[in-house]
Amino acid sequence: MIHEVDEVLKTLLKGGAMTGSGIDVAFEAPTRDWAARRNAPVINTYLYDIREDVNRRQRGQMAVRDEDAIIVKRRQPPRWFRLSYLVTAWTKTPQDEHRLLSAVMATLLPRELLPPSELPGSLGALGLSVPLTVAGIQTEARSLAEIWSALGGELKPSLDLVVTAPFPAFPEYDAGPPVTEGATVRVGGIEGDPPMAEG
């Protein structure tokens, strides 16, 4: 699931306001060593936090239907997880980095909800839209300053990007066969007499 979210973000960031720019998108931790090795402009999208969005947790079971809308399986509702990314721009000048961050915002801000048709693999197969927020209020326990300190780098302008994605909760259970005949009621007599009525 996480690698599929990475794939979606890479596709989005290479399109939109940055179409044709040739800017690379990286997911490595932006440490000092990584920064020293880069030799071209890059957007770094570092996944720094994963935690469940317990407000979205549901109980019970969901029906899985086939192409004829017949229930064929039942499964638990998916669990939702907040994937928090630290988005930074790396170029030779601060002005160019600011332009890249502006392009990232212009690309992602209109995309508050990603439809299933734009989601790959098992993520899209769930048929659920995925919320995306950019530069919102940070709710994770660690501050961005603490993250930079842990990475061993200097504080840089960054965007906090959060994708709240569903993760399948197994197992699935096969549903019983559909009812194909109407109900029949038989009323019998006492001591084995023939049926008195049928309907």
pLDDT tens, residue by residue, 56-76: 887 766 676 777 777 767 767
Write the pLDDT tens digit of every residue in 115-130: 999 999 888 888 899 9
* Beta bridge partners of residue 162, listed in sequence order: 84, 133
Please report whether residue 13 resides in a domain: yes
For tokens 């197969």, name the residue.
Answer: 125
Helix (H, G, I), strand (E, B) or coil at 86: strand
Residue 17 burial by Cβ neighbours in a 10 Å radius (0-12, 13-18, 19+) = middle
Q: How many domains does the chain have?
A: 1
Please report whether residue 196 resides in a domain: no
Please report whether residue 28 resides in a domain: yes
Domain that holds residue 130: 2-175
Nearest Cα neighbor of 118 from 56, 48, 165, 156 is 165
**Predicted pLDDT of residue 139:** 61
